[in-house]
C-alpha cells in the first residue's frame, strides 16, 4: 500500500512491487492526463511533478512517491478554473493532436515556479525532455511565455 | 466558442459504456448511379442528407462526417462550414465521430483531401437542409420563402419567428437524397468560415480529460500485449506457459497475452518474449548498400511511364545527371497504437484511431473470414497521425485477441518498439534524373526514373488483407507488395515527380519494387519527400550554372501565377534579395505545389552548420485556396514544415538482416525543442477558389529548402537523406 498526495488529495493505492507510477495513475487511480509514449524516459508523455520536480512516471516505481506530492495536468486546473498555462495553451491554440500536452504543461509549471520570466532558450531547454511530433513547438513556447507574463501581473 | 459549450460530441458514448449502435443510416459502398447528377465531394456517393446532418429538439445540430480527427483539427473546420451554411451558432454544433455502418463512407482521411471531400459535401448538404426546412416552414405558415431569414437556427418572417430547425427536428425532413439544386451561400454572406475558431478538441486535451481511445475503460476490460516475432521472417516453434492469472493467445506466429491489468500484461509479455522459441531467417537487404539494392530490385520491378511530353524545344547544350536517395521513414507518432475490441456472438465492435473506418472494416472482416456487417468500427482519437501507421494493425490484433474471451472488452496497446519497428514505413526511394539545358541555361528536357516500393498498403483496397497480423496467422494470407495510388489521386512514389516548371520535353517514369522485405505504406507527402527535394536541387544547380538567382530562375520557369506569388512571398519574408551570409550559415529556398494539383508552398530555410546541421528559421508562404480556419491552416503548414526539418536532418529507419533496429527514440531521432526552427507562416487567401488541403504541402519543400541552405553554407549538394555529417561527407 502506497500513500501519497495526488493533486492535493490523499490517496492510497495497492499495486504489485515495481509497478510504475504511470500504471498506478492510469489504472486504479483512474487518471488520463499522464500518458504512455515510450516507457523509457525519452518522450515526456508521462511527465508528472513529484514534490514539484518533473519526473518520468513511466519508470518511477509507485512506492517511490510514498508520502510525496504528485501533480498531474489534471491537478493544474480544470475547465472551470484553468491554470494560467492551460488558459494560455488554449489562447495560443498550442497543440494539434494534444498527446504531448499534459506532460509539457507540468514541466512548464515547474519551470515557471522556479523562473517566472524564462527566456525562449530557457523554455526550450526545460521542454527538451518532451517530444512533440505534430510540430506544435513554437506555439507551445509562445503559450508558456504568455502564461509567464500573465502570472507575473 | 467557449471550451465547455463548444465541446465536440466526437468519441462520446464510448468512454465508459458500450455505444448505442445506430439503427438508421447506411453507407454507400456501391458505385453511384451514373445517371444521377454529380454532387460535391463525398456527397456524391453518400447522397442521403440524414447521413450527414441531424437536428435535435434541444437546439443542437449533429454533423456526421466520414472523415476523422487525427490531430489536424478537421472536426472544427467541418463544424464551421456546417454552422455557417445553416446559420446557427457554432456552439450548437456537435461533431459526431465516424463509425460503421452509420457514417457516410468517405474512404480514408488522407491526402490533404478532407476539406475538399467532406467540407464540400457538408456545405452542400447544409445548404440543402436549410432550403428544405425553409420551404416546409413557408408552406406551413404561408410566409413566402423569400421573406424568411435564419438567425441562429430560428426562422424569422416579417412578423417574427415562425419556426426553427429544432421545431421541425422530428419531421424526418432529411430522409431524402441531396438535391443538386441546393445553392450554398455567396462568399460575401459567409460569416463563420474564414475565421480562426478555436479547436473543439483542444480543451479536453489540455485538461487531461479522457478522450483518446487509449483512455477507454469498460467494465471488466482486460489488457493485452503482443509478443513480436524474433525477426521479420520467423516461425514460432515453442511457447512457455503463461504466468498465473495471464492468458496466452496464439494463432500461428501471432502471439499475445491477456491480463487484468496493464502491468501484468507487460510483465508477462516481457517474460514470454525471452522464452519463446523462434526459427528465424535473414530477409532484409544490407543497409550499407541500400541504394544499390533499390537499383537491383528495381531491375526486377515494374517500370511504368508517369508522364511524357515532347514539344518543340531549343537545342540541348548540356545534360546533367544526378541521383538522390532517401531511407525508410517512420511515422514516429508520440503515442503508440491502441484499440479496444469486444465480441458479442459472431460480431465484433472495435474502437480505433483508424483513418478509414470502412477500409478497416473491410480488411478485418476478410481476415476474420466473416462478413462486413459483423464488424463495427467506432472512431476514437489517437496521438497525431501522419499517414498509414499502426492504427489499423492494432485494431485487427485487438479483435483477434478478444475472440479468445467472448463478451469481454480487450484493450491492446503497442509498445514503443512496436510503434517504431512494426508499423508500416514510408518506402526508401532512389531517383535518377537527367536534365537538359539550352545554351542560355533554360531547362528544356527532363528524364527521371523514381524507384521505390509502393506507397500504399492501406486496408480495404485489395481482396487480400494488408494488415500486419493477417500474414502471421496459422491460416495466413500472403504479403502483397504495396501499390501506388493512381496519378489522378496524386500518385504514390511519383507524387510530385513531375516538375511543376515549364519543360518542353519530359519523360518521368517510376519503378515499383515487386518484393517488399520491409512493409511500406503512406506517410505524409508519400514520394514527394524525395521528388520535391531532387527536382529543387537540380533547379538550384542549373540556376547556379546559368549564374542566375535561384528565385529568378524558378520564376522564369513557372507559368502558374499562384505558384509565382507564393515563391515571391517566401522570398520577401526571408529578405532573400538583401540576405547576407555569415560563416557557417546558409539560406535556401524551394517551392512545390502538393500533388501538382493541391496547395502551394514555398519555403525559405536558414541553417547553421556546426558539428552537424541545425535548421534555425523557416519562412513558409502558402496558398490553400479557400481557407475555413486560418489558424488551423497555419498550424498545419507550420507542423508540416517542422516535420520536414526533422526528416531532413535526423530521420532514418535502420535495420540489420533480420530486424528493424531503430525501434526506440535513440535509434529513431526526431527534432527536440532545442533543435526546432522558428517558423513564420503567411497564407495567401483565395476565398473564391476551391479548398486545396493543408496537411502535407509544406513538408517536402522544407527538406528541399534545407538542402539548398546546406549548399549555401558548406558548398555541398546533399544526395542522400538525412543530411547528417556522414551523408554530407
Ligand atoms: S512514457 Fe515516460 S518518457 Fe516516454
Ligand atoms: S500536439 Fe501532437 S505530439 Fe504535440
B467 lies in a domain?
no
B629 lies in a domain?
yes
Question: CA separation (Å) from B416 to B186, B298, B521?
Answer: 49, 32, 19
* Contact assessment for residue B376 and residue B99, using Cβ atoms and an 8 Å cutoff: yes
Q: Which of B234, B114, B217, B135 is nearest to B182 (CA)?
A: B135
**Which residue matches cell numbers 496521438?**
B383
Q: Where among B198, B232, B263 does a domain terminate?
A: B198
B294 lies in a domain?
no
Instruction: Provide the sign of the torsion angle of the four alpha carbons A47, A52, A53, A57, taken in this order.
Output: negative
Q: Are residues B240 and B169 in the same domain?
A: no
Contacts of A34 in chain B (CB under 8 A): 208
Q: Are residues B174 and B272 in the same domain?
A: no
Give pLDDT tens digits for B603-621.
999 999 999 999 999 999 9
In chain B, the number of structural domains is 3
Give pLDDT tens digits for B277-292.
999 999 999 999 999 9
Q: Where among B422, B447, B481 does a domain terminate?
A: B422
Tell me whether B270 touches chain A (CB under 8 Å).
no
Read out DSSP for B676-717? Answer: PPEEEEEE---TTSPB---SSTTHHHHHHHHHHHHHHHHS--
pLDDT of residue B112: 84
Ligand 1 site residues (CB inside 6 A) read A 36-46, 56, 58
- CATH number of the domain bearing residue B365: 3.30.365.10
DSSP three-state, residue B113: coil
Give pLDDT tens digits for B3-33.
333 333 333 333 433 333 332 222 334 456 7
B461 lies in a domain?
no
Quick check: ipTM above 0.90?
yes
The domain in which residue B368 lies consists of 213-281+331-422
| Segments in chain B below pLDDT 50 | 1-30
Give pLDDT tens digits for A95-150.
999 999 999 999 999 999 999 999 999 999 999 999 999 999 999 999 999 999 99
Give pLDDT tens digits for A16-72.
999 999 999 999 999 999 999 999 999 999 999 999 999 999 999 999 999 999 999
CA of A124 vs chain B CAs: smallest distance (Å): 5
pLDDT of residue B127: 97
Q: Are residues B188 and B104 in the same domain?
A: yes
Q: Are residues B547 and B408 in the same domain?
A: no
Which CATH number, 3.30.420.40, 3.10.20.30, 3.90.1170.50, 3.40.50.1010, labels domain A2-73?
Answer: 3.10.20.30
**Which residue matches cell numbers 493512381?**
B486
CA of A121 vs chain B CAs: smallest distance (Å): 8
Q: Are residues B414 and B430 in the same domain?
A: no
**Which residue matches cell numbers 494470407?**
B477
Q: Are residues B414 and B431 in the same domain?
A: no
Q: Are residues B439 and B349 in the same domain?
A: no
pLDDT of residue B24: 27
Q: Are residues B251 and B318 in the same domain?
A: no
Q: Are residues B594 and B694 in the same domain?
A: yes
Q: Parse chain A into domains and list their residue ranges.
A: 2-73, 84-152
Q: Are residues B217 and B164 in the same domain?
A: no
Atom of ligand 2 nearest to the CA of A133: 3
CA–CA distance, B204 with A98 (Å, rounded to integer): 9
Q: Are residues B526 and B619 in the same domain?
A: yes
B172 lies in a domain?
yes
The CATH number given to A84-152 is 1.10.150.120
Q: Where among B198, B227, B251 does a domain terminate?
A: B198
Enter the pTM of the model. Answer: 0.95
Q: Are residues B574 and B432 in the same domain?
A: yes
DSSP state of B440: T
List the end-to-end C-alpha distance of chain B, in Å, as a whole number.
Answer: 53
DSSP state of B462: S
CA of B336 vs chain A CAs: smallest distance (Å): 6
Tell me whether A39 touches chain B (CB under 8 Å).
yes
Please identify among residues 546-585 of chain B the ones whose CB lies closer than 8 Å to any CB of chain A.
none
Chain A interface, mutation test: which of B673, B694, B696, most A Cβ atoms within 10 Å? B673
B71 lines ligand 2 (CB under 6 A): yes
pLDDT of residue B31: 57
Contacts of A127 in chain B (CB under 8 A): 673
B6 lies in a domain?
no
Average of per-residue pLDDT values in chain B: 94
Amino acid at each position: 500500500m502506497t500513500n501519497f498526495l495526488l493533486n492535493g488529495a490523499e490517496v492510497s493505492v495497492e499495486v504489485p512491487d515495481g509497478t510504475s507510477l504511470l500504471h498506478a495513475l492510469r489504472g486504479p487511480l483512474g487518471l488520463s492526463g499522464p500518458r504512455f509514449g515510450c516507457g523509457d524516459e525519452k518522450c515526456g508523455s508521462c511527465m508528472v511533478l513529484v514534490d514539484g520536480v518533473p519526473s518520468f512516471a513511466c519508470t518511477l516505481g509507485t512506492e517511490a512517491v510514498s508520502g510525496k506530492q504528485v501533480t498531474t495536468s489534471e491537478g493544474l486546473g480544470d475547465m472551470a478554473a484553468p491554470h494560467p498555462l492551460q488558459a494560455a495553451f488554449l489562447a495560443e491554440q498550442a497543440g494539434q493532436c494534444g498527446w504531448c500536452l499534459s506532460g509539457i504543461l507540468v514541466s512548464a509549471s515547474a519551470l515557471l515556479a522556479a523562473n517566472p520570466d524564462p527566456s525562449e532558450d530557457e523554455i526550450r531547454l526545460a521542454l527538451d525532455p518532451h517530444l512533440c511530433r505534430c510540430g506544435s513547438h513554437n506555439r507551445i513556447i509562445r503559450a508558456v511565455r504568455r502564461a509567464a507574463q500573465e502570472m507575473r501581473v | 466558442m467557449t471550451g465547455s459549450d463548444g465541446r465536440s460530441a466526437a468519441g462520446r458514448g464510448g468512454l465508459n459504456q458500450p455505444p448505442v449502435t445506430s439503427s438508421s443510416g447506411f453507407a454507400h459502398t456501391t458505385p453511384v448511379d451514373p445517371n444521377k447528377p454529380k454532387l460535391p465531394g463525398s456527397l456524391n456517393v453518400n447522397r442521403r442528407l440524414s447521413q450527414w446532418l441531424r437536428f435535435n429538439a434541444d437546439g443542437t445540430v449533429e454533423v456526421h462526417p466520414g472523415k476523422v480527427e487525427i490531430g489536424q483539427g478537421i472536426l472544427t473546420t467541418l463544424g464551421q462550414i456546417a454552422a455557417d451554411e445553416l446559420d446557427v451558432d457554432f456552439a450548437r454544433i456537435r461533431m459526431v465521430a465516424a463509425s460503421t455502418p452509420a457514417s457516410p463512407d468517405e474512404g480514408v482521411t488522407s491526402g490533404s483531401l478532407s476539406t475538399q471531400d467532406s467540407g464540400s459535401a457538408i456545405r452542400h448538404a447544409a445548404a440543402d437542409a436549410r432550403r428544405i426546412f425553409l420551404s416546409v416552414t413557408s408552406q406551413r405558415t404561408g410566409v413566402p420563402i423569400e421573406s424568411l431569414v435564419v438567425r441562429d437556427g430560428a426562422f424569422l418572417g416579417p412578423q417574427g419567428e415562425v419556426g426553427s430547425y429544432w421545431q421541425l427536428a422530428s419531421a424526418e425532413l432529411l430522409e431524402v437524397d441531396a438535391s443538386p439544386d441546393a445553392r450554398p451561400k455567396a462568399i460575401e454572406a459567409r460569416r463563420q468560415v474564414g475565421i480562426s475558431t478555436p479547436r473543439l478538441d483542444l480543451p479536453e486535451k489540455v485538461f487531461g480529460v479522457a478522450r483518446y481511445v487509449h483512455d477507454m475503460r469498460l467494465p471488466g476490460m482486460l489488457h493485452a500485449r503482443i509478443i513480436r516475432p524474433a525477426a521479420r521472417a520467423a516461425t514460432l516453434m515453442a511457447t512457455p506457459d503463461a504466468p498465473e492469472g495471464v492468458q496466452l493467445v496464439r494463432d500461428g506466429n501471432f502471439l499475445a497475452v491477456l491480463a487484468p491489468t496493464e502491468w501484468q500484461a507487460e510483465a508477462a509479455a516481457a517474460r514470454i518474449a525471452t522464452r519463446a522459441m523462434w526459427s528465424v531467417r535473414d530477409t532484409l537487404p544490407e543497409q550499407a548498400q541500400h541504394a544499390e539494392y533499390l537499383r537491383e530490385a528495381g531491375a526486377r520491378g515494374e517500370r511504368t511511364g508517369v508522364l511524357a511530353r515532347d514539344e518543340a524545344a531549343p537545342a540541348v547544350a548540356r545534360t546533367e545527371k544526378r541521383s538522390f536517395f532517401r531511407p525508410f521513414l517512420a511515422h514516429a507518432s508520440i503515442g503508440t497504437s491502441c484499440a479496444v475490441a469486444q465480441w458479442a456472438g459472431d460480431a465484433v465492435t472495435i474502437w480505433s484511431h483508424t483513418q478509414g473506418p470502412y477500409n478497416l472494416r473491410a480488411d478485418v472482416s476478410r481476415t476474420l473470414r466473416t462478413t462486413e456487417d459483423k464488424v463495427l468500427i467506432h472512431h476514437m482519437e489517437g496521438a497525431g497521425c501522419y499517414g498509414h501507421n499502426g492504427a489499423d494493425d492494432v485494431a485487427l490484433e485487438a479483435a483477434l485477441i478478444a475472440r479468445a474471451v467472448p463478451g469481454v472488452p480487450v484493450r491492446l496497446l503497442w509498445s514503443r518498439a512496436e510503434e517504431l519497428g512494426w508499423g508500416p514505413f514510408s518506402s526508401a526511394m532512389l531517383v535518377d534524373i537527367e536534365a537538359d539545358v539550352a545554351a542560355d541555361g533554360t531547362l528544356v528536357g527532363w528524364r527521371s526514373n523514381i524507384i521505390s516500393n509502393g506507397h500504399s498498403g492501406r486496408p480495404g483496397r485489395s481482396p487480400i488483407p494488408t494488415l500486419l497480423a493477417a500474414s502471421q496467422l496459422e491460416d495466413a494470407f500472403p504479403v502483397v507488395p504495396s501499390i501506388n495510388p493512381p496519378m489522378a489521386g496524386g500518385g504514390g512514389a511519383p507524387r510530385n515527380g513531375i516538375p511543376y516548371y515549364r519543360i518542353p520535353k519530359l519523360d518521368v517514369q517510376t519503378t515499383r519494387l515487386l518484393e517488399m522485405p520491409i512493409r511500406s505504406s503512406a506517410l505524409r507527402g508519400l514520394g514527394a519527400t524525395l521528388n520535391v527535394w531532387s527536382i529543387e536541387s537540380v533547379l538550384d544547380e542549373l540556376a547556379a550554372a546559368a549564374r542566375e538567382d535561384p528565385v529568378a530562375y524558378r520564376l522564369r520557369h513557372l507559368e502558374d501565377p499562384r505558384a509565382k506569388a507564393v515563391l515571391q512571398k517566401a522570398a520577401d519574408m526571408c529578405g532573400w534579395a538583401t540576405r547576407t551570409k555569415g560563416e557557417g550559415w546558409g539560406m535556401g529556398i524551394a517551392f512545390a505545389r502538393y500533388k501538382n494539383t493541391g496547395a502551394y508552398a514555398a519555403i525559405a530555410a536558414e541553417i547553421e552548420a556546426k558539428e552537424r546541421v541545425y535548421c534555425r528559421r523557416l519562412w513558409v508562404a502558402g496558398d490553400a485556396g479557400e481557407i475555413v480556419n486560418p489558424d488551423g491552416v497555419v498550424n498545419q503548414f507550420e507542423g508540416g514544415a517542422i516535420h520536414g526539418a526533422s526528416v531532413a536532418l535526423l530521420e532514418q529507419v535502420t535495420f540489420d538482416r533480420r530486424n528493424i533496429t531503430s525501434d526506440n527514440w535513440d535509434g529513431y531521432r526526431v527534432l527536440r525543442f532545442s533543435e526546432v526552427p522558428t517558423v513564420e507562416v503567411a497564407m495567401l487567401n483565395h476565398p473564391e477558389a476551391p479548398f486545396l488541403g493543408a496537411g502535407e504541402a509544406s513538408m517536402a519543400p522544407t527538406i528541399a529548402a534545407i538542402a539548398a541552405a546546406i549548399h549555401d553554407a558548406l558548398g555541398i549538394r546533399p544526395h542522400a537523406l538525412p543530411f547528417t555529417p556522414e551523408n554530407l561527407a
